[in-house]
Structure 1
Amino acid sequence: MSCNSISCTFFRLLICTPLLLGTIARADTADEFMAQLAVGDFLEPVKDASMAVRNHEVGLGALQKSDGRWRFKHSERITGQLSRATWQVLDGYTSAELVEDLDNQLKDASDVRLLFECDGRACGSGSQWASRVFGERILYGRAEAQRYRVYALNESSSTDEGVQGPRTRLLVYAAMRTADRQYVHIELLGEESLTP
C-alpha cells in the first residue's frame, strides 16, 4: 500500500519498527516505545502514563448495560505492564483517518492479529468508554464517531509444549468531540508476572 499522508508517518513508527515487532512485552521497552510515538506536527500529546496492572480488563466486545451495570460483551484480563498515551489530532486530520491508516497497515502484517473492532454506536456508550474504560473524560465525544480496535502483537498461537506465550495487546480508541477536538488514545499492555 502506498501511503503519502503525514498520518502514515505516525503509524509507521507505531507498527513498522523493530521495537514493536521485537520484545515489546518488557515494561521498559513499552515505555520507550510509547515515548517515541509523540512525534509529528499533527499530534499534540495530552497525557501519558505507565503502570503495573493486575487483572486489567481488555474489552473484546461492545460495552453493554446489563442488570444496571456497564460491561463488555466479551473481554479478557491481563496482568502485566500497561503504557498509555492520548494525543489531540491537529491540522485538519481526523481521528478516523488515523485509525483507518492503522487498519490498512496492520491487516497484512505477520505476528499481528485483529481481535476486535467496532465503529460508531456499535461500540456502545461513548461516555462509558471515556470514563469507565480509559478514565479520560477528554475522550468523551460523539458516539457515531468513535472507533475501537484491539490487536494481538507478537503472539504465537502456542509453543512447542502447547502452552501459550505471554500476551501483548495494542488498544486503539479514537474520539471526536468537535471537528477541532479529536483524540487518539493508545494502550500497550504486555503480560508478565508481577511479584508481590
Structure 2
Amino acid sequence: MGFWVHKKLKNILFGLGVFLGICGNLSAEGFDFVASGLSLEKATTQAADKHPMPLSAIKRVSNRLMIESQTDVVGTRSNYLYRVSEATSLDKAVGYYKELLSDQGRIEFACEQRNCGASNHWANDIFGNRNLAGRDSDQSYFAGRLDDGVHQGWLSVYAVTNARRIDYIYISFIPAPPEDYVADAKRGVLLGEAVLSKDWAKALGDYLQANANAKLVVVAFSKPVSSAAQLGNSIESSAEYGETMLVAAREAIGVDGSRVELRSMGMLGQRPLGFNAQDWAYLYLVD
C-alpha cells in the first residue's frame, strides 16, 4: 500500500526544511560519529516530535509525492550537513556510515542513483535544502537503527554530488525513545553507562517485574590474544569484567541475582567499532 504525502503535509515539510536552513547556528546533539575528510557546514535540531523517516524511494504520481514505506520516530532530531573535502571521496564517506550502521545496528532501507527517485524531491521536499539537489544518478540514501552501546536511535544518510559538482552528505539522527529500550535489549546492547542510566534501568526493571520468566544475560569478551598460552588469561579477564558489569546492572535495575546470569566468552567476539578497552560486555533480555 502506498503512502500519499498530502499537499498540506508537503507544505509543512517544505516550510520546516526552510526553517532549519536558516537556523544553522543551533547546536545539534546526540550523534558524534564523523567520517574522515568531512567538513561540517550546518548543524540543526528539530524539537521533540514525531519525525518521518523514509524507508522507500520517493515517487511522484499524478503530481503527488508518494512514499511507500516510512517509520515515524518520536524524539529530538539532529541534522548535519557535511561537505566532502578533497582529502577523501564521497564513496569512502558513504562506506564509513554504511559499515557503522551494518556493524552497530541494521540497515532498514537503502537505494542508489535513480532507484531512490528524484534527487530534487529529496533535497527540497524531504530535507528542505536545495544544495542537496543533483543528478538522480549521483545520489544514494540509506536508513536504519543504530546501537553502539552509547548511541541508540534512527540514522539516515543522504549522499549526493549536487548540480554544482560539490559532494555533500546529509545526516539525520533521532535517539531511541524510551519505549524502544526493551526491544533493543532483546537484540543485545553494549553494556555501559548508557544502559545503566535511569531510563534504561526503569524500562528493564518494569519488564522483569511484569514477566516472571524473563532474565538478563551478561555476555563478556576480551580482546584477541596472540598465543594459546594467553587464552586462559583472556577468559579470566572477561569473566572478571563480566562479573563487575553484572553486579552494576543488577544494582542499577534492582533485581536479585537469580534474574541475572553471566557468560564469559574470552576472545570469541569482535570488538565493537571505535571501542578500545581491553574488555567489553553485552546485555541481553531473554524471555
Counterpart secondary structure, 2:109? strand
The 5 Å alignment of 1:156-175 reads 168-175=153-160
* Deviation, structure 1 residue 92: 5.1
Structure with higher helix content: 2
Provide closer, same or farther for how the CA distance between residues 78 and 33 of structure 1 changes in structure 2, counting only shifts above 3 A: closer
Unpaired stretches in structure 1, ≥5 consecutive residues: 1-29, 156-166
CA contact (8 A) 2:101 2:146 kept: no
Q: 1:139 to 1:51 in 2, by over 3 A?
A: same
1:151 — aligned with what?
144
Q: Which stretch shows the higher mean deviation, 135-144 or 175-184? A: 175-184
Aligned 8 A contact 1:60 1:74 in 2: yes
Name the SS of the counterpart of 2:137 in structure 1.
helix
Classify the secondary structure of the residue corresponding to 2:73: strand
Partner of 1:122: 115
2:107 aligned with 1:140, yes or no? no
The one of 54, 74, 78 aligned to 1:59 = 54
Q: What's the CA shift for 1:148?
A: 0.4
Q: Which segments of 5 or more consecutive residues in structure 2 lack a partner in the other structure? A: 1-26, 179-287
Q: Give the residue type in structure 1 aligned to 2:55.
A: L
Identical-pair percentage: 24
TM-score (norm 2): 0.47
Aligned-residue offset at 1:171: 0.4
Counterpart in the other structure of 1:48: 43
Distance 1:84 1:122, change over 3 A: same
CA RMSD of aligned residues (A): 2.6
What does residue 78 of structure 2 align with?
A: 83
Q: For residue 173 of structure 2, what is the aligned residue in structure 1?
A: 188
Aligned positions of 1:108-119 closer than 5 A:
109-110=103-104, 112-119=105-112
Correspondent of 2:124 among 126, 131, 140: 131
In the TM superposition, what is the alpha-carbon distance from 1:63 to its structure 2 partner? 0.2
Tell me the secondary structure at the aligned position of residue 189 of structure 1: strand
